[in-house]
Homo-oligomer: A and B are copies of this chain.
Amino acid sequence: MRQGSLQVLLWQRALAPHSGRWSLPGGRLCADEDVEASIRRQLAEKVDVRQLAHVEQLAVFSAPDRVPGERVVATAFLGLVPCDNDPELPNDTSWYPVEALPDTAFDHEAIVLRARNRLRAKLSYTNLGFALAAPEFTVSALRELYSAALGYRVSATNLQRVLSRRGLLEPTGHTAPPGPSGGRPAALFRFTAGGILVTDPFAVLRPPGSARA
């Protein structure tokens, strides 16, 4: 989340093929690492994004002609950077809004769209939002974050109650200063610890008599 919109970190290719186009960070898998270790290493090498709040496998992209001249199979990952973490970026690296991508290399546009869809889906049934938010946040800020990521406006009232009911949200006791035009100071919240929690993947067709603790 950057400047009110969902953005993706791209870097401009210097070498052929597709030199000059923008691509997702990545690189080759080494002998002593699995794919997740590899993508974390690639990110740490090229940009200062060592604290990814969340990393998960997205999909394998393996069309034989996806990279001209060479057979390359890519395992795509979805990684989330908290909005309060603004890493130093090299010149050839930049954030781009997911809805307005530049000229991308290979099949990376398709990968980005897939990642966006995965994020949208998971936002609603997990607490994945915590990976995008700052450690402490107001409900309004969280609402803007969800709205931008989901692509439609969500109700702040409902967002707070849904997340609270699920036990994902807890008040910190602090309050944020009101804006320049006044207004009641907003209470600050944080997500409860415990990593990604799937709210209820089997939401429907539950076992009988399981009134959901």
- The residues of A with any CB-CB pair to B shorter than 8 Å are 29, 31-36, 57, 59-60, 62-64, 71, 73, 75, 120-121, 123-125, 146, 150, 152-155, 158-159, 162, 198-199, 201-205, 207-208
What is the copy number of this chain in the assembly? 2
What is the CB-to-nearest-CB distance from A180 to chain B, in angstroms, rounded to a whole number? 28
* Complex-state Cα separation, A203 to B123, whole angstroms: 10
- Which residues of B lie under 8 Å from residue A150 when comparing CB positions? 202, 205
Contact yes or no, A62 B29, CB < 8 A:
yes
| Given known A-B contacts A202-B124, A208-B153, A60 and B32 have beta carbons under 8 A apart | no
Contact of A60 among B35, B155, B162, B207 (CB under 8 A): B35
Contact yes or no, A125 B57, CB < 8 A:
no
- Which residues of B lie under 8 Å from residue A33 when comparing CB positions? 64
Question: Mostly helix, strand, loop or mixed at chain A's interface?
Answer: loop
* Complex-state Cα separation, A35 to B59, whole angstroms: 11
Contact of A205 among B57, B64, B124 (CB under 8 A): B124
Question: Residue among A60, A158, A159, A162 with the most chain B CB within 10 A?
Answer: A60
What is the CB-to-nearest-CB distance from A142 to chain B, in angstroms, rounded to a whole number? 11
* Complex-state Cα separation, A209 to B36, whole angstroms: 40
| Given known A-B contacts A152-B207, A207-B153, A201 and B64 have beta carbons under 8 A apart | no
What is the CB-to-nearest-CB distance from A3 to chain B, in angstroms, rounded to a whole number? 22
Contact of A64 among B31, B199, B204 (CB under 8 A): B31
- Which residues of B lie under 8 Å from residue A153 when comparing CB positions? 207-208
Other A-B pairs, 20, CB within 8 Å; known A60-B75, A159-B205: A29-B73, A31-B64, A31-B71, A34-B62, A34-B63, A34-B64, A35-B60, A35-B73, A36-B62, A62-B75, A120-B201, A124-B202, A124-B204, A125-B201, A125-B204, A146-B205, A150-B202, A150-B205, A158-B205, A199-B204
